[in-house]
């Protein structure tokens, strides 16, 4: 079996994507934070002492998404054409984060979407840890991707 991210000397390398065609590429990922109902209520009502949790988490997710190649060693730096982060909740104890990332390029944006929701979730935790240290970040996963030779992927629910 040949490994794509190792050279003939067995050393790490970034895969050459120059021969790939540019296509429209999209990825959606999600993460969730499980917390006490009072913590979720405080977030939604803007009562967290550090400020507007969702606004800061949204910006953090976008910023991290743009820096994915600086953090994940074999990721290519990509010219992103769009990043959107949305929040929802179950009305009780779970805050959902979903990111959609787009580019026109030679490689996909799955890692960028996963980075966006991860950074947003960590930011929520950071801003709320004084109120609740037991918040759990869970279910960080790819939901959808399109573009490229592997086509579409849809996570089965």
117 domain-assigned: yes
Question: For residues 23 and 13, which has the higher predicted lDDT (pLDDT)?
Answer: 23
pLDDT value at residue 151: 87
Q: Is residue 36 part of a domain?
A: yes
Number of structural domains found in the chain: 1
pLDDT at 11 over 90: no
Average pLDDT score over the chain: 94
Does residue 136 sit within a domain? yes
pLDDT confidence of residue 1: 63
Question: Is residue 13 pLDDT above 80, yes or no?
Answer: no
Residues acting as catalytic residues: 126
26-58 residue pLDDT tens? 999 999 999 999 999 999 999 999 999 999 999
Query: Where in the sequence is the domain holding 94, given as residue range(s)?
Result: 23-148
Q: Is residue 14 part of a domain?
A: no
Q: Give 149's pLDDT tier (boundaries 50, 70, 90).
A: confident
How confident is the model over 52-68, as a mean pLDDT? 98
CA distances from 63 to 71, 85, 91, 92, 139 (A): 12, 11, 28, 29, 21
Asked if residue 4 has pLDDT above 80, the reply is no
Please check whether residue 6 lies inside any domain of the structure: no
Report the C-alpha gap between 44 and 54 in whole angstroms. Answer: 8
- 8 falls within a domain: no
- As a whole number, mean pLDDT of residues 4-32 equals 87
Mean pLDDT calculated for residue range 12-37: 91
Full-model pTM: 0.92
Check which CATH number belongs to the domain holding 138 and give it. 3.30.70.640
Each residue's pLDDT tens digit, 114-147: 999 999 999 999 999 999 999 999 999 999 999 9
Cβ distance 85 to 62 under 8 Å? Answer: yes
């Amino acid at each position: 079996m040949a490994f794509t991210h190792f050279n003939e000397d067995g050393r790490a390398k970034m895969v050459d994507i120059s021969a790939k065609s540019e296509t429209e590429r999209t990825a959606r990922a999600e993460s969730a934070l499980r917390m006490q109902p009072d913590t979720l209520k405080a977030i939604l009502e803007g009562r967290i002492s550090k400020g507007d949790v969702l606004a800061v988490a949204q910006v953090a997710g976008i910023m991290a998404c743009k820096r994915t190649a600086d953090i994940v060693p074999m990721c290519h730096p990509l010219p992103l054409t769009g990043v959107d982060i949305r929040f929802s909740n179950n009305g009780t104890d779970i805050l959902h984060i979903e990111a959609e990332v787009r580019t026109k390029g030679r490689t996909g944006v799955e890692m960028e979407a996963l980075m966006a929701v991860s950074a947003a979730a960590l930011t929520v935790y950071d801003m709320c840890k004084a109120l609740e240290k037991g918040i759990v970040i869970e279910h960080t996963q790819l939901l959808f991707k399109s573009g490229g030779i592997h086509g579409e992927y849809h996570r089965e629910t």
